[in-house]
Structure 1
């Protein structure tokens, strides 16, 4: 059974911890600003001890796992968000206290990039809904027309409707403006449907960053095939986004997810917009089609779900409806 955490309201407590990368000195001004932004929005914010940015992770794996477990099990904390992603958060997946988490009431966990490594197993193993959305550092950015911020999604059961924003953006560097709240506008983009003339589909959402998903697929922490079987009546909408791997690596990774059964119960695939490099003989789009084209599933390319902002937050476990038909490009999510 899927379990949706209680709606997050102003006055509720949000925990900040770094399951993966910590915060270096030159980055602290942005994180302090984002914490202050949440407080000004009416939330109580507690910052954990696992925040050290001097190494590739924010301290020993056992310490990071213990702090994340404690925050997720603390009934006074209604949501946990990391400063950002990182590289090797996979080292805490098997160190979380899964028994304690299973006995606790669900708490919202929000993030993307390396945090996908934790979002997916918490949804597939525990049945908790999790949010693939902005990390803390991105939360103060204004939400473009058509999209919702992750705080909007966790504030109620929906339906939460979002549509193609048309915006392609970028971050402001910390040295440029550590207190930025408006995305750097760099162009226009549009969802692009492949494999059908029009799309009207429903299914349970699940997915994340390709570079992290490939390492947990086929393990007890990334058993999306079993998750799909449990929800075969609803079907799945699998979403994936690429951070930086070249197209050949992405192609191999997607074949691996396919062989691990990630798409066995899929009704459609959403692919995030990316700036990751092509291979000299293979584009990023061709990589997706090489691996997934044989499945004859509709694929929606260039959705705002990854490492090219702005961000369209998705809730793992939510029942979603996706429409791409003529001028309509929309996704609606319900917590049911």
Structure 2
């Protein structure tokens, strides 16, 4: 199916006083997590935003509500002219059950609204960008939003609030979350190590293209469907892409299968490069996570940049799906510039 787009539509910059909607298109909130999410809501309010919390937030089961109810609430918030940004508490497991229940006609008739998140929210960010043409932000979920940003990176609020261009550089640090039971009001990442971006095979890199990507375990299941037609989207734009990917928890063999499926569905046909996020996902006894990427994508002769801060190993480097990105890795320069045009 041909994407429903004729270009990229960028939501207007977010301003203090604007309303931010909170809903759970996937997993809801329960137990010790409730205090954390309550703190994060108040953190946003303390920065001048009018935060409204939806009804789909129940954390008693796998999802916050039936798929039809979650899709309706997300559609309503995204189409509401008084809501300028929507952010989930976090990801989950089965947001794929609502991608075909969203009212794309209603959204196409509305002004674009920022949708922010990562992990299972990648499943929703992708079709909102490729089918509607709305720019979306692959960045912190609500639970991560109060964490201070390390040097070199920007907060997702910076990207949602300004005209750009936005320049971010390799932070060089690896961090971790504080467990909610340890500190539900944490605002400083737990420092656990250092790391740097690197180009596969060494050397330098300077490429540009439209950003698109997400969590392999979630967006991989959309490959070959109308909700993950990255090749059709790139063809409609007639532009190169920069594909970014990160693995959450699947072992290397499963990641390898996902990436092959994405390759066969044309995900990398117009790619200028592939950016790969740091991961703690396990290796297979006979295949590493890097080996999985190379097995699927090595035959494409595409530049690959390893170990960006774009996934389940924080801190987080927010990326705007649909933004024009320039990625430079050359000597001590490791940076990505995003232009919202």
Q: Which residue of 1 aligns with 2:31?
A: 25
Distance of 2:201 and 2:103 partners within structure 1 = 42
1:251 equivalent in alignment to 2:256 = yes
Relative to the length of structure 1, the TM-score reads 0.99
In the alignment, which residue of structure 1 is the partner of 2:15?
9
**Alpha-carbon offset, residue 196 of structure 1:** 5.7
Residue of 113, 134, 144 corresponding to 1:138: 144
* Equivalent residues, number: 335
| TM-score, scaled to structure 2 | 0.97
Q: What CA deviation, in whole Å up to 9, does each residue of 1:25-56 have, x standing for no partner?
A: 22100000000000001111000000000000
Q: Is the 8 Å Cα contact of residues 195 and 297 (structure 1) preserved in structure 2?
A: no
1:209-267 CA distance string (max 9 Å, x none):
000011111000000010111233x3000000000000011111101100000000000
Q: Which runs of 5+ in 2 are unaligned?
A: 1-6
Structure 1 match to 2:185: 179
The residue that corresponds to 2:304 in the other structure is 299
Q: Which residue of 2 aligns with 1:58?
A: 64
Is it true that 1:157 corresponds to 2:159 in the alignment? no
Q: How far apart in 2 are the matches of 1:231 and 1:299?
A: 23
> Is 2:252 the counterpart of 1:241?
no
Shift of 1:108: 0.2
Deviations for 1:274-329, whole angstroms, at most 9, x for unmatched residues?
A: 00000001110011011000000000000000000000000000000000000100
* Structure-2 change in CA distance of 1:260 and 1:195 (3 Å): farther
Paired residues of 1:195 and 1:296 also in contact (CA < 8 A) = no
Q: Which residue of 2 aligns with 1:221?
A: 227
- Cα distance in 2 for partners of 1:196, 1:104 equals 46
Structure 1 gap segments, 5+ residues each: none
- For the 8 Å contact 1:204–1:231, the answer to whether it is kept is no
Q: 2: CA distance between counterparts of 1:249 and 1:127?
A: 30
2 CA distance for matches of 1:107 and 1:196?
Answer: 40
TM-fit CA distance, 1:128:
0.2
RMSD between superposed Cα atoms in Å: 0.7
Report if aligned partners of 1:52, 1:59 keep a CA contact under 8 Å in 2: yes
Residue matched to 2:315: 310
